Structure 1
């Protein structure tokens, strides 16, 4: 019985790519979650180990917590890699137009990868923001949101919101009237306060990122622009990643073709006559390229992850615009979106990200080539 995609070239490749994306994302997402938690949980005087992060995640949400945000991770991978490889193929066709050989040079592959990385960052940033918030929630206990009772028991509510505070119902009612649009005789203060999450901390500070992890919550509290928070660091990261990934992959690919040509009789007149390399060799080259690219771009990945796990309400952003607030740090840090406070933390989780990127790249290419072979 023939393949259902036989004779339908586009549908077959789309199906193969879908299988490859889902499998690659599913295999590497736990590693990516641990990497994110290491980056977010790091501080000047706090450097958590992988075992500590894993124990915390297991105690709060179990092993299933490592798969928080899997759907958003897959969406980010599909959109990001689709943009990356799509732009790269377009630029490669431009480079090789009119040439006898259809292979781009290593320098051209790096330039095309840099351009593809910039487009990839813009496309995948919103999905990555939600993914990082979901991952951060795997080690956060949100039981406070479920233990709040109702308005009649106002004394216990105040004591939960404000520890060591002497309850005063009249003062509390007046505060609610000043800080929100709620009437003082609101019938359901429990549900209404959840619309103003920063009040749940009892200190006037914004809530943790783990409490604001849904698209509607993010847009409501932080505005639409928050979906692209960390974009500058993301562009720097994906430009470095795309440039190194395609340059190393093209270098290895040309090297394998040259090695294969040595055993051919008669010797090929051009690289086009050598033929394709084996799927295993191509997959290994992609995996190694992913490891190198992840190592080169990791500082920007840490900066982007930490930025996206900071909750910044709309009123704070508005105040900064009115006051013409300028980011601190040297000009490289300001342009790339790096925080001076994170200078000693930028390499946190680099081993996990290298492993994650290598496994994802190998799995993606190997699954895609295998699926194409069977479907078409």
Structure 2
């Protein structure tokens, strides 16, 4: 980034003072149009140029995450600018250093606001409902965890019977997003450009990720496709690892203080260090952008999946698979239920701390595995009577 000051422009970028002259509608379009413009507005706000109305628009709840990204990028860029100016004994070093401190203060305040909102969200989620306390439902879920191979075999059968594809459960958020795209929950067409990126080898793909990070005013739209989120994350991580040593950064997440010996390097060598530090800041901005996008994709998939007919069929198939598992493994099911009943109150599973609940689950899972029998075919005779964790038994409780 250029040295942002009242007298500096960046291509068609407005001067910091000029941002304050925009009316509210134009200002809103300005900060939403391009990331570099949001950075300019964030710096102008930190430096006290924006009007109260503009400050309010910039700090609206739906923009806070993006504002933090912009301030983080501005902080890194300004730090490198101060370091480079100090190397050249530039007269603007002190002034830019003061601006850097104001941006850091604004970033700290934004972080505090976001932390407060996250705590409030956590309290709301806790009020909406904590961990499952129905003993039978907990036992059914833990039984499936205790005997995953048996459960997956039965689930494959019930999914087939329901006419649903038999695919592994999502192992991580990337799987969940990719499955959600396949199920039609994410409106992102698979264009030839997306296929072109998917077909790139590791080195060529990393080059595309690097090019996207370098041009902060533009975006390679196809990198944002749901099917490319895993590779984009890997590419950013690899670029970070490669750049940190060259940038003489203190870690993969912070520039840290520039080592004193850099100021004694020949100009060409020092320039390479400054360029690497600036590039590392750009990579981190893209990493933050990727994180937000991935979370938004995952939230959309979760919300739409809950209400879809396909998901209702899948939940029913899961329930039927657990019914069969409890029938096929009555000793393991009985051990799980008996162990949980020792920790029940009148309204279900007694209040346990997260640590106690985790310890109880680990113990009962181990005991259920020890009690499990070699699975038999469902075409053979089953034990008489309903097993304790079948849906029939659950409804009777």
TM interval, short-chain normalised:
under 0.3
TM superposition score normalised by structure 1:
0.20
Structure whose alpha-carbon radius of gyration is higher? 2
Greater length-normalized contact order (CA 8 Å, ≥ 6 residues apart): 1
Structure 2-normalised TM-score?
0.19
